[in-house]
Amino acid sequence: MGVFDLFGRTPRTKEVKTTKPFASAAENGTHNAGPVSVFDPTSYDDVEKMIDALKDGKNAIVHLEKLKKETAMRILDMLSGAIYALGGGVYEMEENIFMFSPTGVEIL
């Protein structure tokens, strides 16, 4: 049972990737942070797309200023849990604007 099953969503199957989404800077000798996805969610339902981007090795910039405080907190909590499980980090860029980066990406 997945996390989204708890919220009444029907489970979906996905093809499992067996390779790392990207190599860290130490492994490939570059400082390329990889692609960046920018999200401006309008509801809690958008959190799944953001987590999928993180699982694909992309950085995610999330703008939460248009949401109600309760919804923004739920999204932030879910993304924080996902990024912890992926071994990455979260950075507050400005008020209500956050950057989530998966493992292997260092923000200077």
Domain containing 80 equals 36-108
- The pLDDT value recorded for residue 76 is 94
Q: Is residue 22 part of a domain?
A: no
Q: Is residue 21 part of a domain?
A: no
The number of domains in the chain is 1
Q: Is residue 24 part of a domain?
A: no
Q: Which residue has the higher pLDDT, 89 or 22?
A: 89
Cα 68 off chain centre by:
20
Q: φ and ψ at 76, to 5 degrees?
A: -60, -40
Under the banding of pLDDT at 50, 70 and 90, the label for residue 20 is very low
Q: Is residue 56 part of a domain?
A: yes
The span from the CA of 87 to the CA of 108, in Å, is 17
Asked whether the whole model's pTM tops 0.85, one would answer no
